[in-house]
Amino acid sequence: MNDTLAVIGAGNMGEAIIAGMLAAGRIDAKRVVCADQSPQRLAVMTSRYGVQSAPTIDAIRTAEVVLLAVKPQNLTEVLDETAAAFRDGQTVVTIVAGIPTQIYSEAIPAAVSVVRAMPNTPAQLGVGVTALAKGNGATDASMRAAQEIFASVGAVVEVDEKDLDAVTAVSGSGPAYVFLFAEALIDAGIAAGLDAKTARLLAIETLYGSGVMLRDAGRDPSELREMVSSPGGTTVAALTSFANDGFREMVAGAVAAAKRRAEELATETK
């Protein structure tokens, strides 16, 4: 990327994106400027990555691409304070969960190109997945800029903005579901008689290996599940227990709850 990138919010995801872009050679550190409410975080970013730091308004004014990585509850305040700093032709990429691009178009007087993105936390290790959606005034050039940013931290898919709340519920929040399952599997292993260290190793490596198979084996998840499920065997006994306890319904309910909350965030920001 030859443009200057302003990252507004130097939290975990903001740092992950910067680290990924630098590691992939997609941008020079001198072309990245960070802004954050925490001087300590800015000190970490400048010393760790060699990027620049500046007050939020100055960072926005100097950049061609602005990445908004603030918390949803802080967005209104940030836009109120910085709206006048944006200029025509800038690309604004937002990873703020649940907030439609119309909010940015209404708050920012300049003719900016808004792209909405939903990455997930594995991006911190370069193995995330990000969904991108064109907002009001988004151009092909702005989409290419967003794709270049997020391709440095994992896979990228383009969706319609109307689908982003569902994306948030599936992949944005999804790692927490996997981590919860890992916790439960470890606890169940201990309850079955394993020591904690062994139960942890078995659960984590099983989830890791299964994830690699899901991605690389070229088979449907149901087919992979059936490969493990010998008739009358232990796996079938476990899967029957899951079914009896409404496992699929629980997952569907959790995703629906997350989607509803994403929709509520948009309402709360207006």
- 16: tokens are 């992950």
pLDDT of the residue at 269: 64
Which of 181, 177, 158, 185 is closest to 255 using CA atoms?
177
pLDDT of the residue at 262: 87
pLDDT of the residue at 88: 94
pLDDT of the residue at 50: 95
Regarding pTM above 0.85, the answer is yes
| Residue 143 DSSP symbol | H
CA 33 to chain centre: 21
- 41: tokens are 């975080």
Instruction: List the 128-134 sheet strands across, edge first.
Output: 52-53, 32-35, 5-8, 65-68, 91-94, 113-118, 128-134, 154-158
Per-residue pLDDT of the chain (270 residues), as tens digits, is: 788 999 999 998 999 999 999 998 999 999 999 999 999 999 999 999 999 999 999 999 999 999 999 988 889 899 999 999 999 999 999 999 888 998 998 999 999 999 999 999 999 889 999 999 998 778 999 999 999 999 999 999 999 999 999 999 999 999 999 999 999 999 999 999 999 999 999 999 999 999 999 999 999 999 999 999 999 999 999 999 999 999 999 999 999 999 999 888 877 765
Distance CA 175, CA 183 (A): 12
Beta bridge partners of 117: 132
Distance CA 118, CA 133 (A): 9
Which of 77, 131, 86 is closest to 105 using CA atoms?
86
In the chain, beta strands by DSSP E? 5-8, 32-35, 52-53, 65-68, 91-94, 113-118, 128-134, 154-158
Distance CA 11, CA 14 (A): 5
